[in-house]
A and B are shown apart, each in its own frame.
Chain A
Amino acid sequence: MAEIAYWEAIRRAHDEELARDPMVIAMGEDIGVAGGTYKATSGLYQKYGADRVIDTPISENSYTGIGIGASMAGMRPIIEIMSINFALLALDTLINAAAKIRYMSGGRVSCPIVLRTPGGTAHQLAAQHSARLARMFMSTPGLRVVTPRGPLDAYGMLKSAVRCNDPVIIIEHESMYNMRGEVPDEETFRPLEGAEIVRTGTDVTLIGYNYSVHLCLAAADKLATMGISAEVLDLRALRPIDRDTIRRSVERTHKAVIAEEDEATVGVGAEIISIIIEECFFALDAQPVRVHAADVPVPYNRHLEKAAIPNADDVLAAALKVLGRV
């Protein structure tokens, strides 16, 4: 068991899958010679060559479409889009093609692509590099959407995604690539479905995904010093969502806070609260509370940016609110 960075975990998954199956290719902007904006494919161009690790022009919609077309003929492309903001350019091929081809062909053609992209805010990148869009992909039938919070899932979910026959969107995070965590030395797969109880507790459930799980964990630490036992639940997959694990946790704690870095409207938190109401309304002792981004494009100024994005103290305050401690 070694402690490695998130980007190294992604790189290792690429390396193992490229080595195992000649039908696996990686493609994206600057992933080859340059090694990837976040180093997630570094050294692989030298190891596997230009035909397996493909540097693409800046043509997100069409290179994604080329990956989809290749997948229809039996290949297993891992497509990188440098920022989820740029994935908006590829929505036609992703949502109108990849997500629908299996269904509209009556199950006769599959599109087993993996699309990796960082979605989140980080150090003053301003509005056009700070979108979070998870809520858009999670509402699209035909896709799987996963949000690895650390190196183990980043590694093991990418491995599973390459082998899965459905199109999988992996939403990473700018602020997590250097985060470190333990990954087993032996080959490991992490399932593409299932929420995970990351920390058990009895008084309140803090629900997060992607980077916001870390906000929940930090808030849980602070709550512990106040004698409050918080359970932290990582959704892991936004599509399909693990309703059972949410229900079971809320039935134990009777209180829920949902932390999302996205804006609230038609968002992840809205969906989770709907699920809680549908699954276990009568288990609730208090109204669930959402912690979310301000309803504005993300500003450049660091003070404004900080104010626009939720932090651990916001999660703490929300937890105290549902606990009736404020």
Chain B
Amino acid sequence: MNVSDQKRLLREMIFFRRFEERSFEAYMERKIGGFLHLYSGQEAVATGVLETARCGHDYVITGYRDHVHAIKAGAPAREVMAELYGKVTGSSRGRGGSMHIFDPSVNFMGGYALVGQPFPLAAGLALACKHKRTDQIAMCFLGDGANNQGTFHETLNMASLWKLPVLFVCENNLYAIGTRIERSSAVVDQYKRVGAYNIPSSQHDGQDIDVVMTAARSAIDHVRSGAGPYFIEFMTYRQRGHSMSDSNAYRSKEEERQWAERDPIKIYGERLKKAGIITDTEIAAMEKSVLDEIENDVVRFAEESPEPRVEDLNKYCMDDQPNPQWIGPLVQGDHHG
């Protein structure tokens, strides 16, 4: 990876952090409604894995903490922010909101609120890739909590049985909403749970983007080679609560402080500084340019975009232009059986 790519990655992570923090501010101003789940602290995972994949070509699907995955996959940040604002210019035309970002133009196939639901959807996307004999893969990003759903076991079984090109990325942030992993999973190391399905797996530091990229590269190579699924676990930590309504009462301040030391942006920034690739002044300038971009492009676009029209309430529920040959109307009297 060359120097300009390294700087770009650092800027991307700073951008993603600022995007999430700015969403939080807009939420407090009641410009964003519903539930809002922020990714702050986990940036190295999505950024590193998707940097290694072929975004726009490979399929990406995830849970409700989906803004950063969507943007890194190629969805325009301004459209993601507009979706949080519920605007018609949003990724999902204001119908989905924070938890349901979609951008099929870059094969980002959605964020889903049902924990564990993306497992089979991802395997289905992978089934399509295999069936069409493309070299695409599907990537499924979910948290550790999702692994306690039946869909985890059912899907791993079928993905392995049918050798589907799917990468399961487990972002283990130690908490299933507010329940710590030791209290919800009989096996704490999630990568060990997939051995039962004959799927190769590994566990890595999710805070160091270089580690993430190295691990993801070999996992993706495995999946793309046609050898079947791979399960990769990254140990990470969300800096904020599960959602906006979460006071984080179940975590100790000491634990939060320790993980703050392992902030992925800090780790990568320090590394680039030590290597003489970037200076504090340049990082400060980078932060300033991110702030400007988010205010003047991303947020402004969301603020200035129109709301969806109430007259369009029923739009998008069904195919708007169905072929009458399949749908009807039925001609009476052509069949009496």
- With the chains together, A166 CA to B320 CA distance in Å? 10
User: Among the listed A65, A166, A197, which residue makes an inter-chain contact with B155, where contact means beta carbons less than 8 Å apart?
Assistant: A65
- Give the residue among A51, A102, A182 with the most B Cβ atoms within 10 A: A102
CB-nearest residue of chain B relative to A236?
A: B330
CB-nearest residue of chain B relative to A237?
A: B328
Note all chain A residues with C-beta closer than 8 A to B155: 59, 62, 65-66
Note all chain A residues with C-beta closer than 8 A to B324: 191
CB within 8 Å of A: which of B62-100?
90-96, 100
Q: Looking at the assembled complex, report how far the CB atom of A239 sits from the nearest CB atom of chain B, in whole angstroms.
A: 10
**B332 interface hit (Cβ, 8 Å):** yes
**A300 interface hit (Cβ, 8 Å):** no
Q: Scoring A residues 171 to 209 as 1 if CB is less than 8 Å from chain B, else 0, what string do you get?
A: 000000000011000000111111111110000000000
Q: Scoring B residues 240 to 277 as 1 if CB is less than 8 Å from chain A, else 0, what string do you get?
A: 00000000000000000000000000000000000000
**B319 interface hit (Cβ, 8 Å):** yes
Note all chain A residues with C-beta closer than 8 A to B95: 103-106
Asked whether A59 and B320 contact (CB < 8 A) given A73-B59, A106-B92, the answer is no
**A325 interface hit (Cβ, 8 Å):** no
Note all chain A residues with C-beta closer than 8 A to B109: 69, 72-73, 109
CB-nearest residue of chain B relative to A66?
A: B124
16 additional contacts (CB under 8 A) given A97-B121, A105-B100: A61-B151, A62-B151, A66-B123, A66-B158, A69-B122, A73-B124, A75-B131, A106-B92, A110-B319, A152-B335, A160-B326, A160-B327, A182-B337, A192-B326, A193-B327, A195-B330
- With the chains together, A57 CA to B197 CA distance in Å? 13
Note all chain B residues with C-beta closer than 8 A to A26: none
Q: Looking at the assembled complex, report how far the CB atom of B108 sits from the nearest CB atom of chain A, in whole angstroms.
A: 10
| Contact, CB under 8 Å: A70 / B125 | yes
- With the chains together, A173 CA to B158 CA distance in Å? 29
Which label, helix, strand, loop or mixed, suits the secondary structure of the A interface? mixed
Q: Looking at the assembled complex, report how far the CB atom of B33 sits from the nearest CB atom of chain A, in whole angstroms.
A: 15
Q: Looking at the assembled complex, report how far the CB atom of B69 sits from the nearest CB atom of chain A, in whole angstroms.
A: 15
**B102 interface hit (Cβ, 8 Å):** yes
| Contact, CB under 8 Å: A102 / B335 | no
| Contact, CB under 8 Å: A107 / B128 | no
Asked whether A65 and B326 contact (CB < 8 A) given A104-B92, A104-B100, the answer is no
- Give the residue among B90, B154, B162, B325 with the most A Cβ atoms within 10 A: B154
| Contact, CB under 8 Å: A164 / B327 | yes
Q: Scoring B residues 100 to 140 as 1 if CB is less than 8 Å from chain A, else 0, what string do you get?
A: 10111100011010100101111111111101100000100
CB within 8 Å of B: which of A147-172?
150-152, 160-161, 163-166
Note all chain B residues with C-beta closer than 8 A to A73: 59, 109, 124-125, 128-129, 132
- With the chains together, A306 CA to B281 CA distance in Å? 84
**A314 interface hit (Cβ, 8 Å):** no
| Contact, CB under 8 Å: B154 / A197 | no
Note all chain A residues with C-beta closer than 8 A to B131: 23, 25, 51, 70, 75
| Contact, CB under 8 Å: B319 / A164 | yes
Q: Looking at the assembled complex, report how far the CB atom of A233 sits from the nearest CB atom of chain B, in whole angstroms.
A: 10
CB-nearest residue of chain B relative to A240?
A: B318
Q: Looking at the assembled complex, report how far the CB atom of A113 sits from the nearest CB atom of chain B, in whole angstroms.
A: 10
**B178 interface hit (Cβ, 8 Å):** no
18 A-B contacts (beta carbon < 8 Å) = A57-B157, A63-B158, A64-B120, A65-B117, A66-B127, A72-B125, A75-B127, A97-B117, A103-B95, A105-B92, A105-B96, A106-B90, A106-B92, A141-B317, A193-B327, A194-B329, A194-B330, A197-B333
**A122 interface hit (Cβ, 8 Å):** no
Note all chain A residues with C-beta closer than 8 A to B61: 69
Interface positions of B (Cβ within 8 A of A): 59, 61, 90-96, 100, 102-105, 109-110, 112, 114, 117, 119-129, 131-132, 138, 150-151, 154-155, 157-158, 161-162, 315-320, 322-330, 332-333, 335-337
| Contact, CB under 8 Å: A68 / B154 | no
- With the chains together, A311 CA to B114 CA distance in Å? 41
| Contact, CB under 8 Å: B120 / A108 | no
Asked whether A69 and B158 contact (CB < 8 A) given A104-B95, A105-B100, A152-B337, the answer is no
The 6 lowest CB-CB distance pairs between A and B, nearest first, are A69-B124, A65-B120, A106-B93, A194-B330, A191-B328, A62-B154
Q: Looking at the assembled complex, report how far the CB atom of B139 sits from the nearest CB atom of chain A, in whole angstroms.
A: 12
| Contact, CB under 8 Å: B328 / A194 | yes
| Contact, CB under 8 Å: A63 / B120 | yes
Note all chain B residues with C-beta closer than 8 A to A144: 318
Note all chain B residues with C-beta closer than 8 A to A192: 326-328
| Contact, CB under 8 Å: B104 / A108 | yes
- With the chains together, A109 CA to B93 CA distance in Å? 12
User: Among the listed A59, A68, A194, which residue makes an inter-chain contact with B121, where contact means beta carbons less than 8 Å apart?
Assistant: A68
CB within 8 Å of B: which of A47-79?
51, 54, 56-57, 59, 61-75
| Contact, CB under 8 Å: A191 / B329 | yes
| Contact, CB under 8 Å: B317 / A102 | yes
Note all chain B residues with C-beta closer than 8 A to A283: none
CB-nearest residue of chain A relative to B83?
A: A106
| Contact, CB under 8 Å: B325 / A160 | yes
Note all chain B residues with C-beta closer than 8 A to A236: 330
User: Among the listed A54, A69, A75, A142, which residue makes an inter-chain contact with B317, where contact means beta carbons less than 8 Å apart?
Assistant: A142
- With the chains together, A103 CA to B318 CA distance in Å? 8
Note all chain B residues with C-beta closer than 8 A to A54: 162
Note all chain B residues with C-beta closer than 8 A to A85: none
